[in-house]
Homo-oligomer: A and B are copies of this chain.
Amino acid sequence: MAEMTKDRLLWIYERMRLIREFEDRAAQLFAEGKIPGFVHLYAGEEAIGVGVCANLTDRDFITSTHRGHGHCIAKGVDPKEMMAELYGKATGSCHGKGGSMHIADVDRGMLGANGIIGAGGPLACGSGLMAKIKGTDQVTVCFFGDGAAEQGTMHESMNLAAIWKLPVVFLCENNGYAQTTPAHYHCAAKDISDRATAYNIPGFSVDGTDVFAVYEAVSEAVARARRGEGPTLIECKGFRYYGHFQGDNMSYFTEEEKAQNRARDPIDAFRKRVLERGLLSEKELADIDARAKQTIDEAVAFAEQSPYPAPEAVLTDVYVSYA
């Protein structure tokens, strides 16, 4: 972390706080009945999305999952449009047609949250293939969960990316559960990163609550991808604070487990580290906390005030043209 500039440290903290603020607020709004549908929150996993995207430019790509809010914010999607999308408003990222599970911003390289587990793998091979054929230096990071690791698409994608040396980083977010099913039940491998052997690519596991560890692992993998040497598999081990989706009673979590998780909070860990080392000051952090809260307040106000899409909108955006 020595070589991290202060600006980067500030950026990392701000993104993590923005995500946490966004998610805590979304949880509230869902409970108040203001946000409909299936909402999967990222709180607790901030260090992964932010540690990854700190290595990427706007021209790089990510493919996301059903739990995509954190990836979006880390990649620079506007929280206003995101919140409006959760409300199903016309001003949302997808004009209200996608909702939480389909937020996307192709221009910023965010190729979409996805409702289908493991679907991002093939899509990531696609943006990777585009970059390879056009000879750009764009890298694609494919986020997928521990549960997604058991979906055939991920196997096919890692093999394809490996034989074609595609500039893709396969980033497994192992938060210990696929819905209510623990990874130690659904996954036969000791570590999901062991599966790199199956594709003869580098693979390692890192602490997903340590943004510095995530950053370093990914920067190495991104550099390798940009050098044209192909994909890497990185497993980030962490946890989620909220249920699988809002409404989940979380009976499958023990109290011990919840306490352990709280003790590993990625944002607290970051604060502790930068304060101890005098890299950032209490004041600098407090300013960001305030700004993050304000940004999300504004996002909620924006969403509340925005209009719903007009009924005719049901029929548009299916095709570019349909004779």
The A interface is mostly helix, strand or loop, or mixed, namely helix
A190 at the interface (CB under 8 A from B): yes
A297 at the interface (CB under 8 A from B): no
Residues of chain B lying within 8 A (CB to CB) of residue A162: 188
Contact at A194–B198, with CB atoms within 8 Å? yes
A199 at the interface (CB under 8 A from B): yes
Contact at A197–B198, with CB atoms within 8 Å? yes
Residue of B at shortest CB range from A149?
A: B159
A220 at the interface (CB under 8 A from B): no
- Chain A, residues 132-159, CB within 8 Å of chain B (1/0): the string is 0000000000000000001111111011
Contact at B197–A197, with CB atoms within 8 Å? yes
Point out the residue from B159, B188, B195, B200 that lies within 8 Å of A190, measured CB to CB. Answer: B200
Residues of chain B lying within 8 A (CB to CB) of residue A155: 150, 152, 154-156
Bound Cα distance from A217 to B81, whole angstroms: 59
- Chain A, residues 146-184, CB within 8 Å of chain B (1/0): the string is 000011111110111011000000000000000000000
Bound Cα distance from A201 to B190, whole angstroms: 10
Q: List 10 other contacts, CB 8 Å, given A158-B188, A189-B198, A197-B197.
A: A150-B160, A152-B156, A154-B155, A155-B156, A162-B188, A163-B186, A189-B197, A190-B200, A194-B197, A195-B198
A positions within 8 Å CB-CB of B: 150-156, 158-160, 162-163, 185-190, 194-195, 197-201
